[in-house]
Amino acid sequence: MFGGTVSGPVKKVSITVKQHDDPSDTLTSVAFFDTNRNIVQTGYYRGKKFIIDGIYRYSDNNSCLHYQYDENGVEDTHYYKIYFNANGQELLKFGYWKDKLIRVDSMVYDTQSHLIAKYVSNYMERTPLLQTVYTYDSLGRIIKEQNIKTGEYYTVSYLTNGNYKKTINENGRTYTENYIVNKAGQLIECKSEGKKEKYSHYDKYGNWLKREVVLNTYTSTGLVGTTTERVIEYW
């Protein structure tokens, strides 16, 4: 079933099938992982044709190269070189265009390995721009993420029954998302304005295997359409 060339020994394969209301509109995304659970290749099927959209090549110094491909499976002129810390978290990400450095992302972690800040620079800037900051509670749960440049943010409120609510401010408006979890702490439903997601069938690692998303489209005259997207993921 799978096409393309995979580098490194493959331990696990994930397949995501997205199907909209129109049965003919089906996209199958595929990701390959090596024995260290590192992703080595991503791609997707359009019908029976497999198209590569990304390849990751790892070295021994905690770094990798991420090559991107266009919709025809042709290698793009953009690529990234990524460096990781001892915990496998991204520390530095260099973006190139035609071998010219155009962007640098740097991540900062606290002593509990929580991401607390992200800096972004492009080739026009001499100093890093503080892009995003993250705040956690005493239990190590994220409670706020804010983009310093735009002022956009989201906050998370945790309830005693395990459910939680996210308040999001973006594009000049504020709205909420309500998350419902089961007794095992697994997410089973997310509700927000115009959208409802249902999760079910988890594997032994806690990864969800099935999700159904219902999107409502509104105009000034009210509801004009509903789209259902079903996502099934196999490991």
**Which amino acid is residue 32, in one-letter code?**
F
Query: pLDDT tens digits for 175-216?
Result: 899 999 988 888 889 888 777 888 877 777 676 667 777 766
Average model confidence (pLDDT) across the chain: 81
151's CB contacts (< 8 A; 6+ apart) are 169
Query: pLDDT tens digits for 57-72?
Result: 998 778 999 999 988 8
pTM of the complete model = 0.73
- Nearest by Cα to 17 from 40, 45, 42, 39: 45
Pick the residue with more confidence: 175 or 24? Answer: 175
- pLDDT of 164 reads 96
Confidence of residue 18 (pLDDT cuts 50, 70, 90): low
Query: pLDDT tens digits for 146-172?
Result: 999 889 999 999 998 999 999 999 888
Query: pLDDT tens digits for 101-141?
Result: 999 999 999 999 999 999 988 876 666 687 899 999 999 99
- pLDDT of 93 reads 95
Rounded Cα gap, residues 171 and 134, in angstroms: 20
- pLDDT of 221 reads 61
- pLDDT of 130 reads 77
Instruction: Name the H helices within the chain.
Output: none
Confidence of residue 4 (pLDDT cuts 50, 70, 90): very low
- pLDDT of 10 reads 47
Query: pLDDT tens digits for 69-97?
Result: 988 888 999 999 999 998 889 999 999 99
- pLDDT of 16 reads 65
Rounded Cα gap, residues 4 and 29, in angstroms: 13
Rounded Cα gap, residues 152 and 227, in angstroms: 27
Tokens 């806690």 belong to which residue?
206
Confidence of residue 235 (pLDDT cuts 50, 70, 90): very low
Rounded Cα gap, residues 128 and 132, in angstroms: 12
- pLDDT of 228 reads 63
What stretches of 87-186 adopt beta strand conformation (E)? 90-97, 100-109, 115-122, 129-136, 142-147, 153-158, 164-170, 173-181
Query: What is the DSSP secondary structure assignment for residue 1, as one 8-state letter?
Result: -
